[in-house]
Structure 1
């Protein structure tokens, strides 16, 4: 069975993406200083260390230009400390997204529990019924707020393509 033009295009894009991934980052060809030497002198590094320390995360050490966690089966070239730092950004973003989702699920669960408690409470007099309905409306608004997505703007940290 012959491929459609869309299938040819999809295969071409996949091959192109795989070649770009294997080629590495074009800035690797022009860098003269290892990232591990640059980072301690960067004015932002102490802030990063402090922020991580404040939440109980031990800041990573970049005392040598190595990447001991790199694995060949990833299909990416070994890029030393800069490759490790770039993967860390991705890991931190994934961890932050997962933690934010867990927090939102927890809060929704607690809101649903509080609403259920209000629904079965004694609402015989008008004042308590009015207060319970008001509280339920407020809790529903908070739950709706938790359904929204948040966008953070980050500087581009990965580059692709050939620097020829």
Structure 2
């Protein structure tokens, strides 16, 4: 009997191993949980820095989350996001309580911000490319107009160069799984 699957390369085997290890880590509870005595939602009642979270969200027109009790992320996620209870369990792994909700929220906000940055970047680059094509098709027989347009081309290329770079932000580690 012939096998329809080809042997995996060393790189593919390593990639699958890494994926399995990451899935195992996601399913684990945070190693710090057993030492946390005050629930996170109680801590927030006295944390003066909480407004540093709510203000930027409010400025973006996003309703800041409220942590009124110790319910975890599963209690807040929309049902439509998951096909099965297993999908929901897998998405939230070992995250528990209000601290688990905050931890999951951090990752999801980073994911959303990253995707929004890609969308905005793609939009701007496409619009700049359209403008360059318009300039190429334009009649540039007037020397003064040609000079102004060439300055625009240089400026657009500088903007595109800036948009081709990545932004790095340092974040404090918020999870300690498998430690």
Same fold per superposition (TM over 0.5): yes
The residue aligned with 1:58 is 63
**Structure 1 unaligned runs (5+)?**
none
The residue aligned with 1:143 is 160
> Which structure has more RCO (C-alpha within 8 Å, separation ≥ 6)?
1
The residue aligned with 1:82 is 99
Cα shift at 1:16: 5.2
Distance 1:114 1:5 in 2: 46
Change over 3 Å in CA distance of 1:45–1:75 after alignment to 2: closer
Cα shift at 1:69: 3.7
Farther-moved stretch of structure 1 (142-151 vs 64-73): 64-73
The residue aligned with 1:134 is 151
Distance 1:57 1:28 in 2: 29
Confirm or deny that 1:33 pairs with 2:45.
Answer: no
Distance 1:55 1:75 in 2: 26
Secondary structure, in 3 states, of the residue corresponding to 2:45?
helix
Cα shift at 1:108: 0.9
Distance 1:11 1:143 in 2: 36
**Structure 2 unaligned runs (5+)?**
1-6, 78-87
Distance 1:47 1:104 in 2: 26
Secondary structure, in 3 states, of the residue corresponding to 1:61?
coil
Deviations 1:85-108 (A, max 9, x none): 111101110111111111111111
Distance 1:42 1:50 in 2: 14
